[in-house]
Structure 1
Amino acid sequence: MGDAYLRYSFTYGTENEVDCLYDVLGLKPGDRILDVGCGPGRHSHLFAEREIDVLGIDISNEFIKLASDEKSKANFLRQDVREMDFEDEFDAVISMCQGGFGLLCDPESSIQNPDMDLRALENMARALKPGGKLALSAFSSYFQIQYLSDNDSFDALNGVNREDIEIMNTRGEKKAAVTWTTCFTPRELRLMSQKVGLVVKNIWSVTPIEYKLLPCDIENPEFLLLAEKATQ
Protein backbone atom coordinates (compact mmCIF):
# COMPACT_ATOMS: atom_id res chain seq x y z
CA MET A 1 0.00 0.00 0.00
CA GLY A 2 2.87 2.39 0.75
CA ASP A 3 4.16 2.78 -2.82
CA ALA A 4 0.61 2.70 -4.18
CA TYR A 5 -0.29 5.68 -1.98
CA LEU A 6 2.14 7.88 -3.89
CA ARG A 7 0.32 7.15 -7.14
CA TYR A 8 -2.93 8.73 -5.95
CA SER A 9 -3.64 12.01 -7.74
CA PHE A 10 -3.90 14.04 -4.53
CA THR A 11 -0.20 13.44 -3.85
CA TYR A 12 0.75 15.38 -6.99
CA GLY A 13 0.20 18.68 -5.18
CA THR A 14 2.68 18.01 -2.38
CA GLU A 15 5.09 20.83 -3.28
CA ASN A 16 2.22 23.32 -3.50
CA GLU A 17 0.93 22.16 -0.12
CA VAL A 18 4.34 22.62 1.48
CA ASP A 19 4.72 26.08 -0.09
CA CYS A 20 1.33 27.05 1.32
CA LEU A 21 2.01 25.66 4.79
CA TYR A 22 5.45 27.26 5.00
CA ASP A 23 3.80 30.60 4.32
CA VAL A 24 0.68 30.42 6.52
CA LEU A 25 2.60 28.95 9.46
CA GLY A 26 5.31 31.60 9.19
CA LEU A 27 8.06 28.98 9.32
CA LYS A 28 11.77 29.70 9.24
CA PRO A 29 14.88 27.49 9.15
CA GLY A 30 15.47 25.80 12.49
CA ASP A 31 11.80 25.65 13.49
CA ARG A 32 10.63 22.30 14.83
CA ILE A 33 7.44 20.80 13.38
CA LEU A 34 5.44 17.64 13.97
CA ASP A 35 3.89 15.98 10.91
CA VAL A 36 0.93 13.95 12.21
CA GLY A 37 -0.14 11.07 9.97
CA CYS A 38 2.94 11.65 7.83
CA GLY A 39 2.40 8.60 5.60
CA PRO A 40 5.52 7.95 3.51
CA GLY A 41 6.90 11.37 4.48
CA ARG A 42 6.02 13.34 1.38
CA HIS A 43 5.61 16.62 3.33
CA SER A 44 8.28 15.90 5.94
CA HIS A 45 11.05 15.41 3.38
CA LEU A 46 10.29 18.69 1.62
CA PHE A 47 10.22 20.60 4.90
CA ALA A 48 13.55 19.04 5.85
CA GLU A 49 15.02 20.35 2.59
CA ARG A 50 14.14 23.84 3.86
CA GLU A 51 16.16 23.28 7.04
CA ILE A 52 13.08 22.64 9.17
CA ASP A 53 13.56 20.16 12.05
CA VAL A 54 10.81 17.62 11.28
CA LEU A 55 9.43 14.66 13.19
CA GLY A 56 6.88 12.62 11.24
CA ILE A 57 4.59 10.18 13.03
CA ASP A 58 2.21 7.60 11.62
CA ILE A 59 0.36 4.56 12.94
CA SER A 60 1.48 2.48 9.93
CA ASN A 61 4.74 0.55 10.21
CA GLU A 62 4.86 0.28 6.44
CA PHE A 63 4.64 4.03 5.94
CA ILE A 64 7.26 4.74 8.62
CA LYS A 65 9.64 2.26 7.00
CA LEU A 66 9.05 3.79 3.58
CA ALA A 67 9.58 7.32 4.93
CA SER A 68 12.74 6.33 6.82
CA ASP A 69 14.27 4.70 3.75
CA GLU A 70 14.47 8.06 2.00
CA LYS A 71 17.71 10.02 2.33
CA SER A 72 16.47 12.98 4.33
CA LYS A 73 17.14 14.90 7.53
CA ALA A 74 13.56 14.28 8.66
CA ASN A 75 13.01 11.86 11.54
CA PHE A 76 10.18 9.37 11.81
CA LEU A 77 8.44 7.48 14.59
CA ARG A 78 5.62 4.98 14.66
CA GLN A 79 3.04 6.61 16.90
CA ASP A 80 -0.76 6.74 17.28
CA VAL A 81 -1.81 10.39 17.55
CA ARG A 82 -4.48 9.38 20.08
CA GLU A 83 -1.77 8.09 22.42
CA MET A 84 1.06 10.59 21.88
CA ASP A 85 2.16 12.67 24.87
CA PHE A 86 4.34 15.47 23.48
CA GLU A 87 3.96 18.69 25.47
CA ASP A 88 5.04 22.24 24.51
CA GLU A 89 7.67 20.88 22.08
CA PHE A 90 6.87 22.08 18.56
CA ASP A 91 6.70 25.43 16.79
CA ALA A 92 4.10 23.99 14.43
CA VAL A 93 2.01 20.87 13.95
CA ILE A 94 0.60 19.79 10.60
CA SER A 95 -1.91 17.08 9.78
CA MET A 96 -2.60 16.87 6.08
CA CYS A 97 -4.92 14.82 3.88
CA GLN A 98 -6.66 13.28 6.89
CA GLY A 99 -3.48 11.50 7.91
CA GLY A 100 -4.26 11.81 11.60
CA PHE A 101 -7.67 13.48 11.68
CA GLY A 102 -10.95 12.38 10.15
CA LEU A 103 -9.80 8.83 9.41
CA LEU A 104 -9.99 7.67 13.01
CA CYS A 105 -13.26 5.88 12.43
CA ASP A 106 -14.40 2.40 11.52
CA PRO A 107 -17.80 0.68 11.48
CA GLU A 108 -17.16 -1.10 14.76
CA SER A 109 -16.03 1.69 17.05
CA SER A 110 -15.22 5.24 16.10
CA ILE A 111 -18.44 6.03 14.26
CA GLN A 112 -20.05 5.45 17.64
CA ASN A 113 -17.31 7.48 19.35
CA PRO A 114 -16.96 10.98 17.90
CA ASP A 115 -14.38 11.84 20.58
CA MET A 116 -11.60 10.09 18.63
CA ASP A 117 -10.90 13.14 16.47
CA LEU A 118 -11.26 15.46 19.46
CA ARG A 119 -8.67 13.41 21.34
CA ALA A 120 -6.31 13.65 18.37
CA LEU A 121 -6.82 17.41 18.17
CA GLU A 122 -6.24 17.78 21.91
CA ASN A 123 -2.93 15.91 21.65
CA MET A 124 -1.83 18.05 18.71
CA ALA A 125 -2.62 21.18 20.71
CA ARG A 126 -0.67 19.87 23.70
CA ALA A 127 2.36 19.20 21.49
CA LEU A 128 2.56 22.86 20.44
CA LYS A 129 4.67 25.41 22.23
CA PRO A 130 2.66 28.40 23.50
CA GLY A 131 2.14 30.57 20.43
CA GLY A 132 2.76 27.60 18.13
CA LYS A 133 0.47 27.03 15.16
CA LEU A 134 -1.54 24.11 13.84
CA ALA A 135 -2.42 23.55 10.18
CA LEU A 136 -4.93 20.76 9.71
CA SER A 137 -6.94 19.64 6.70
CA ALA A 138 -10.40 18.11 6.98
CA PHE A 139 -12.95 16.81 4.51
CA SER A 140 -15.90 19.11 3.83
CA SER A 141 -19.36 17.83 4.73
CA TYR A 142 -20.83 20.34 2.26
CA PHE A 143 -18.84 18.97 -0.66
CA GLN A 144 -19.35 15.34 0.28
CA ILE A 145 -23.13 15.64 0.40
CA GLN A 146 -23.39 17.73 -2.75
CA TYR A 147 -21.20 15.39 -4.80
CA LEU A 148 -22.03 12.04 -3.23
CA SER A 149 -20.99 9.35 -5.70
CA ASP A 150 -22.59 6.00 -6.42
CA ASN A 151 -19.80 4.32 -4.44
CA ASP A 152 -20.44 6.43 -1.33
CA SER A 153 -22.99 6.52 1.45
CA PHE A 154 -23.17 9.33 3.99
CA ASP A 155 -24.11 8.85 7.63
CA ALA A 156 -25.75 12.22 8.32
CA LEU A 157 -26.06 11.61 12.07
CA ASN A 158 -22.31 11.19 12.57
CA GLY A 159 -20.96 13.05 9.53
CA VAL A 160 -19.15 9.96 8.28
CA ASN A 161 -18.74 9.04 4.63
CA ARG A 162 -18.39 5.39 3.58
CA GLU A 163 -16.68 4.74 0.26
CA ASP A 164 -16.04 1.49 -1.58
CA ILE A 165 -12.69 1.77 -3.32
CA GLU A 166 -10.21 -0.39 -5.20
CA ILE A 167 -6.53 -0.27 -4.34
CA MET A 168 -3.63 -1.66 -6.36
CA ASN A 169 -0.22 -2.74 -5.13
CA THR A 170 3.09 -2.38 -6.96
CA ARG A 171 2.51 -5.72 -8.72
CA GLY A 172 -0.70 -4.40 -10.24
CA GLU A 173 -2.91 -6.59 -8.06
CA LYS A 174 -6.26 -5.02 -7.20
CA LYS A 175 -8.11 -5.36 -3.93
CA ALA A 176 -11.48 -4.05 -2.79
CA ALA A 177 -11.46 -1.87 0.32
CA VAL A 178 -13.76 0.37 2.33
CA THR A 179 -12.83 3.76 3.76
CA TRP A 180 -14.69 5.59 6.52
CA THR A 181 -14.01 9.33 6.66
CA THR A 182 -15.41 11.86 9.09
CA CYS A 183 -16.41 15.10 7.38
CA PHE A 184 -16.71 18.52 9.00
CA THR A 185 -18.20 21.98 8.67
CA PRO A 186 -16.14 25.09 9.46
CA ARG A 187 -18.28 25.68 12.54
CA GLU A 188 -17.46 22.21 13.88
CA LEU A 189 -13.74 22.76 13.33
CA ARG A 190 -13.94 26.09 15.14
CA LEU A 191 -15.83 24.67 18.14
CA MET A 192 -13.50 21.67 18.44
CA SER A 193 -10.45 23.93 18.30
CA GLN A 194 -11.82 26.19 21.01
CA LYS A 195 -12.55 23.20 23.21
CA VAL A 196 -8.88 22.12 23.21
CA GLY A 197 -7.53 25.62 23.83
CA LEU A 198 -6.68 26.69 20.29
CA VAL A 199 -7.42 30.12 18.84
CA VAL A 200 -8.70 29.83 15.27
CA LYS A 201 -6.88 32.24 12.96
CA ASN A 202 -8.57 31.20 9.72
CA ILE A 203 -10.42 28.42 7.91
CA TRP A 204 -10.22 28.17 4.13
CA SER A 205 -11.44 25.94 1.37
CA VAL A 206 -8.47 24.63 -0.59
CA THR A 207 -8.28 23.57 -4.21
CA PRO A 208 -6.92 20.10 -5.02
CA ILE A 209 -3.33 19.93 -6.32
CA GLU A 210 -2.86 23.72 -6.78
CA TYR A 211 -3.69 24.18 -3.09
CA LYS A 212 -5.02 27.71 -3.41
CA LEU A 213 -6.66 29.24 -0.33
CA LEU A 214 -10.26 30.35 -0.88
CA PRO A 215 -13.10 31.56 1.33
CA CYS A 216 -15.07 28.58 2.64
CA ASP A 217 -17.32 27.16 -0.06
CA ILE A 218 -19.20 24.01 -1.04
CA GLU A 219 -17.27 23.37 -4.25
CA ASN A 220 -13.96 22.09 -2.85
CA PRO A 221 -13.42 18.83 -0.96
CA GLU A 222 -11.20 20.05 1.89
CA PHE A 223 -10.96 22.78 4.49
CA LEU A 224 -7.66 23.98 5.93
CA LEU A 225 -7.76 25.06 9.56
CA LEU A 226 -5.11 27.42 10.91
CA ALA A 227 -5.10 27.75 14.70
CA GLU A 228 -2.71 28.97 17.38
CA LYS A 229 -2.02 27.78 20.91
CA ALA A 230 -2.68 30.47 23.47
CA THR A 231 0.41 31.97 25.10
CA GLN A 232 -1.18 32.02 28.55
Structure 2
Amino acid sequence: FSKDFSRSRERIWDEMKFLFNDYLIAGERVLDLGCGNGRFYELFKRQNIDYIGVDISEKLIDIAKKRYPKVKFQKVDALNLAFPENFFDKVYSIAVLHHIPSQEFRKQFLKEIKRVLKPRGILILTVWNLWQKRKTKRLISKFILRKILGKSKLDFKDILMNWQKMENCYFHCFTKGELEKLITKAGFHLKRSGEILVGREVKKLPNSNFYIIAEK
Protein backbone atom coordinates (compact mmCIF):
# COMPACT_ATOMS: atom_id res chain seq x y z
CA PHE A 1 0.00 0.00 0.00
CA SER A 2 2.72 2.48 1.02
CA LYS A 3 4.72 1.99 -2.17
CA ASP A 4 1.62 2.44 -4.33
CA PHE A 5 0.61 5.52 -2.34
CA SER A 6 4.14 6.94 -2.59
CA ARG A 7 4.23 6.44 -6.37
CA SER A 8 0.91 8.28 -6.64
CA ARG A 9 2.45 11.19 -4.74
CA GLU A 10 5.46 12.11 -6.87
CA ARG A 11 4.32 15.16 -8.77
CA ILE A 12 4.10 18.66 -7.29
CA TRP A 13 1.58 20.65 -9.32
CA ASP A 14 2.73 24.14 -10.30
CA GLU A 15 -0.65 25.56 -9.30
CA MET A 16 0.00 24.54 -5.66
CA LYS A 17 3.42 26.14 -5.33
CA PHE A 18 2.15 29.59 -4.31
CA LEU A 19 1.12 28.11 -0.95
CA PHE A 20 4.81 27.60 -0.27
CA ASN A 21 6.55 30.34 -2.24
CA ASP A 22 4.27 33.16 -1.04
CA TYR A 23 3.96 32.23 2.63
CA LEU A 24 7.17 30.64 3.91
CA ILE A 25 9.60 32.93 5.72
CA ALA A 26 13.27 32.08 6.29
CA GLY A 27 14.08 30.97 9.82
CA GLU A 28 10.57 29.75 10.66
CA ARG A 29 9.92 26.40 12.32
CA VAL A 30 7.44 24.55 10.09
CA LEU A 31 5.55 21.27 10.51
CA ASP A 32 4.61 19.26 7.41
CA LEU A 33 1.70 17.28 8.87
CA GLY A 34 1.01 14.16 6.82
CA CYS A 35 4.25 14.53 4.88
CA GLY A 36 3.99 11.08 3.29
CA ASN A 37 7.08 10.34 1.21
CA GLY A 38 8.47 13.85 1.75
CA ARG A 39 7.70 15.12 -1.73
CA PHE A 40 6.95 18.69 -0.60
CA TYR A 41 10.34 19.05 1.05
CA GLU A 42 11.69 20.22 -2.31
CA LEU A 43 9.56 23.37 -1.88
CA PHE A 44 10.32 23.81 1.81
CA LYS A 45 14.10 23.51 1.51
CA ARG A 46 14.37 26.55 -0.78
CA GLN A 47 13.21 28.83 2.02
CA ASN A 48 15.88 28.04 4.65
CA ILE A 49 13.41 26.99 7.35
CA ASP A 50 13.53 24.62 10.32
CA TYR A 51 11.51 21.74 8.85
CA ILE A 52 9.93 18.71 10.52
CA GLY A 53 7.87 16.20 8.52
CA VAL A 54 5.55 13.74 10.24
CA ASP A 55 3.24 10.96 9.09
CA ILE A 56 1.34 8.05 10.64
CA SER A 57 2.81 5.59 8.11
CA GLU A 58 6.20 4.23 9.14
CA LYS A 59 6.81 2.92 5.62
CA LEU A 60 6.22 6.33 4.04
CA ILE A 61 8.50 7.93 6.65
CA ASP A 62 11.18 5.37 5.73
CA ILE A 63 10.84 6.37 2.06
CA ALA A 64 11.17 10.06 3.03
CA LYS A 65 14.27 9.35 5.15
CA LYS A 66 15.93 7.48 2.30
CA ARG A 67 15.30 10.41 -0.02
CA TYR A 68 16.49 13.04 2.44
CA PRO A 69 18.75 11.39 5.06
CA LYS A 70 19.63 14.67 6.81
CA VAL A 71 16.04 15.91 7.20
CA LYS A 72 13.89 15.44 10.32
CA PHE A 73 11.10 12.96 9.57
CA GLN A 74 9.13 11.24 12.33
CA LYS A 75 6.31 8.72 12.66
CA VAL A 76 3.68 10.63 14.63
CA ASP A 77 -0.07 10.31 15.26
CA ALA A 78 -1.70 13.51 13.99
CA LEU A 79 -4.34 13.26 16.74
CA ASN A 80 -1.66 13.29 19.44
CA LEU A 81 1.27 15.36 18.19
CA ALA A 82 4.52 14.79 20.06
CA PHE A 83 5.41 18.48 20.28
CA PRO A 84 4.99 21.15 22.97
CA GLU A 85 2.46 23.96 22.84
CA ASN A 86 3.27 27.09 20.80
CA PHE A 87 6.11 25.34 18.97
CA PHE A 88 5.62 25.97 15.24
CA ASP A 89 5.35 29.17 13.21
CA LYS A 90 3.42 27.36 10.48
CA VAL A 91 1.71 24.02 9.99
CA TYR A 92 1.11 22.67 6.49
CA SER A 93 -1.40 19.88 5.93
CA ILE A 94 -1.73 19.05 2.25
CA ALA A 95 -4.50 16.60 1.22
CA VAL A 96 -4.76 14.94 4.64
CA LEU A 97 -7.95 16.06 6.39
CA HIS A 98 -10.31 14.36 3.92
CA HIS A 99 -8.75 10.99 4.85
CA ILE A 100 -9.55 11.38 8.57
CA PRO A 101 -12.74 9.50 9.52
CA SER A 102 -15.43 11.00 11.80
CA GLN A 103 -16.15 14.57 12.84
CA GLU A 104 -14.67 13.85 16.26
CA PHE A 105 -11.27 12.90 14.85
CA ARG A 106 -11.24 15.83 12.42
CA LYS A 107 -11.93 18.21 15.32
CA GLN A 108 -9.13 16.59 17.34
CA PHE A 109 -6.79 16.92 14.35
CA LEU A 110 -7.40 20.68 14.21
CA LYS A 111 -7.25 21.01 17.99
CA GLU A 112 -3.75 19.51 17.98
CA ILE A 113 -2.63 21.82 15.17
CA LYS A 114 -3.87 24.82 17.12
CA ARG A 115 -2.09 23.61 20.26
CA VAL A 116 1.35 23.31 18.61
CA LEU A 117 1.10 26.58 16.65
CA LYS A 118 2.56 29.72 18.16
CA PRO A 119 0.20 32.64 18.85
CA ARG A 120 -0.68 34.13 15.44
CA GLY A 121 0.86 31.06 13.82
CA ILE A 122 -0.48 30.07 10.40
CA LEU A 123 -2.23 26.91 9.22
CA ILE A 124 -2.12 26.16 5.49
CA LEU A 125 -4.39 23.25 4.61
CA THR A 126 -5.84 21.68 1.48
CA VAL A 127 -8.46 19.01 0.78
CA TRP A 128 -9.69 17.48 -2.44
CA ASN A 129 -12.91 18.75 -3.96
CA LEU A 130 -14.60 15.45 -4.77
CA TRP A 131 -17.85 17.13 -5.87
CA GLN A 132 -16.26 18.41 -9.04
CA LYS A 133 -16.34 15.25 -11.15
CA ARG A 134 -19.49 13.49 -12.32
CA LYS A 135 -18.19 10.03 -11.39
CA THR A 136 -17.51 10.91 -7.76
CA LYS A 137 -20.74 12.92 -7.51
CA ARG A 138 -22.65 9.76 -8.40
CA LEU A 139 -20.68 7.81 -5.81
CA ILE A 140 -21.37 10.43 -3.13
CA SER A 141 -25.10 10.27 -3.95
CA LYS A 142 -24.99 6.47 -3.67
CA PHE A 143 -23.42 6.60 -0.19
CA ILE A 144 -25.84 9.30 0.97
CA LEU A 145 -28.76 7.10 -0.11
CA ARG A 146 -27.27 4.09 1.70
CA LYS A 147 -26.96 6.24 4.83
CA ILE A 148 -30.59 7.42 4.60
CA LEU A 149 -31.73 3.81 4.18
CA GLY A 150 -29.71 2.73 7.21
CA LYS A 151 -27.36 0.56 5.15
CA SER A 152 -24.15 2.47 5.90
CA LYS A 153 -22.33 3.19 9.16
CA LEU A 154 -20.34 5.97 7.50
CA ASP A 155 -21.15 9.62 8.18
CA PHE A 156 -22.93 11.75 5.59
CA LYS A 157 -20.56 12.75 2.75
CA ASP A 158 -18.19 9.89 3.60
CA ILE A 159 -17.34 7.49 0.77
CA LEU A 160 -15.13 4.48 0.08
CA MET A 161 -13.53 4.69 -3.33
CA ASN A 162 -10.96 2.77 -5.34
CA TRP A 163 -8.08 5.11 -6.07
CA GLN A 164 -5.00 4.36 -8.16
CA LYS A 165 -4.20 0.72 -7.24
CA MET A 166 -5.80 0.98 -3.79
CA GLU A 167 -9.25 -0.35 -2.98
CA ASN A 168 -11.86 1.13 -0.64
CA CYS A 169 -9.94 4.25 0.35
CA TYR A 170 -11.81 6.45 2.81
CA PHE A 171 -12.66 10.05 1.86
CA HIS A 172 -14.79 12.73 3.45
CA CYS A 173 -16.25 14.88 0.68
CA PHE A 174 -15.87 18.44 1.93
CA THR A 175 -17.67 21.40 0.47
CA LYS A 176 -15.78 24.69 0.70
CA GLY A 177 -18.33 26.11 3.14
CA GLU A 178 -18.13 23.06 5.39
CA LEU A 179 -14.34 23.29 5.49
CA GLU A 180 -14.40 27.00 6.36
CA LYS A 181 -16.95 26.38 9.12
CA LEU A 182 -14.89 23.54 10.60
CA ILE A 183 -11.75 25.69 10.67
CA THR A 184 -13.45 28.66 12.35
CA LYS A 185 -15.25 26.42 14.87
CA ALA A 186 -11.83 25.05 15.82
CA GLY A 187 -10.87 28.59 16.88
CA PHE A 188 -8.85 29.72 13.87
CA HIS A 189 -9.24 33.09 12.16
CA LEU A 190 -9.83 32.55 8.46
CA LYS A 191 -7.42 34.69 6.41
CA ARG A 192 -7.99 33.32 2.93
CA SER A 193 -9.71 30.42 1.20
CA GLY A 194 -10.28 29.32 -2.35
CA GLU A 195 -10.09 26.63 -4.99
CA ILE A 196 -7.03 25.43 -6.87
CA LEU A 197 -7.38 23.61 -10.19
CA VAL A 198 -4.38 21.39 -10.92
CA GLY A 199 -3.37 19.39 -13.96
CA ARG A 200 -4.77 21.64 -16.67
CA GLU A 201 -1.89 20.78 -19.00
CA VAL A 202 -2.43 17.01 -18.82
CA LYS A 203 -6.18 16.60 -18.18
CA LYS A 204 -9.34 17.78 -19.91
CA LEU A 205 -10.93 18.22 -16.49
CA PRO A 206 -8.34 19.31 -13.91
CA ASN A 207 -8.51 18.15 -10.31
CA SER A 208 -9.96 20.62 -7.84
CA ASN A 209 -8.63 21.33 -4.34
CA PHE A 210 -9.98 23.63 -1.65
CA TYR A 211 -7.39 25.52 0.38
CA ILE A 212 -7.48 27.39 3.66
CA ILE A 213 -5.03 29.86 5.18
CA ALA A 214 -5.92 30.52 8.81
CA GLU A 215 -4.33 32.16 11.84
CA LYS A 216 -4.32 30.91 15.42
**What range describes the TM-score normalised by the shorter chain of this pair?**
0.7 to 0.9
Q: Deviations over 1:65-98 (max 9, x none)?
A: 1111123543111011011153111111001122
**Distance in 1 (alpha carbons) for counterparts of 2:212 and 2:51:** 20
1:35 is displaced (CA, Å) by 0.5
Q: Percent identity?
A: 26
**Distance in 1 (alpha carbons) for counterparts of 2:178 and 2:187:** 14
**Distance in 1 (alpha carbons) for counterparts of 2:14 and 2:176:** 25
Q: What TM-score do the two structures reach when normalised by structure 2?
A: 0.80
Mapped pair 1:104 → 2:104: no
Aligned to 2:92: 94
Aligned to 2:113: 124
Aligned to 1:66: 63
Aligned to 1:198: 188
CA RMSD of aligned residues (A): 2.5
The answer as to whether partners of 2:15 and 2:197 remain within 8 angstroms in 1 is: no
CA 1:6–1:36: 2 relative to 1, 3 Å? same
Match for 1:114 among 98, 103, 115? 103
Q: What TM-score do the two structures reach when normalised by structure 1?
A: 0.75
Mapped pair 1:137 → 2:130: no
Aligned to 1:223: 210
SS in 1 for 2:86: coil
Which amino acid in 2 is paired with 1:136? L
**Distance in 1 (alpha carbons) for counterparts of 2:91 and 2:199:** 21
Aligned to 2:169: 179
Mapped pair 1:83 → 2:80: yes
1:122 is displaced (CA, Å) by 1.3
Mapped pair 1:148 → 2:136: yes
Provide structure 1 residue ranges, at least 5 long, that are not aligned to the other structure.
106-112, 168-175, 211-218
Aligned to 2:19: 21
Mapped pair 1:56 → 2:53: yes
1:44 is displaced (CA, Å) by 2.6
The answer as to whether partners of 1:139 and 1:182 remain within 8 angstroms in 2 is: no
The answer as to whether partners of 2:193 and 2:210 remain within 8 angstroms in 1 is: yes
The answer as to whether partners of 2:89 and 2:118 remain within 8 angstroms in 1 is: yes
**Distance in 2 (alpha carbons) for counterparts of 1:96 and 1:31:** 18
CA 1:142–1:16: 2 relative to 1, 3 Å? closer
Provide structure 2 residue ranges, at least 5 long, that are not aligned to the other structure.
145-154, 201-205
Mapped pair 1:40 → 2:37: yes
The answer as to whether partners of 2:131 and 2:137 remain within 8 angstroms in 1 is: no
SS in 2 for 1:181: strand
**Distance in 1 (alpha carbons) for counterparts of 2:70 and 2:46:** 8
CA 1:115–1:14: 2 relative to 1, 3 Å? same
Q: Deviations over 1:93-141 (max 9, x none)?
A: 001122xx12122xxxxxxx32111110111121111111111111225
**Distance in 2 (alpha carbons) for counterparts of 1:188 and 1:129:** 25
The answer as to whether partners of 2:190 and 2:213 remain within 8 angstroms in 1 is: yes
Q: Deviations over 1:142-174 (max 9, x none)?
A: 325x44277x4553362112212452xxxxxxx
Aligned to 1:30: 27
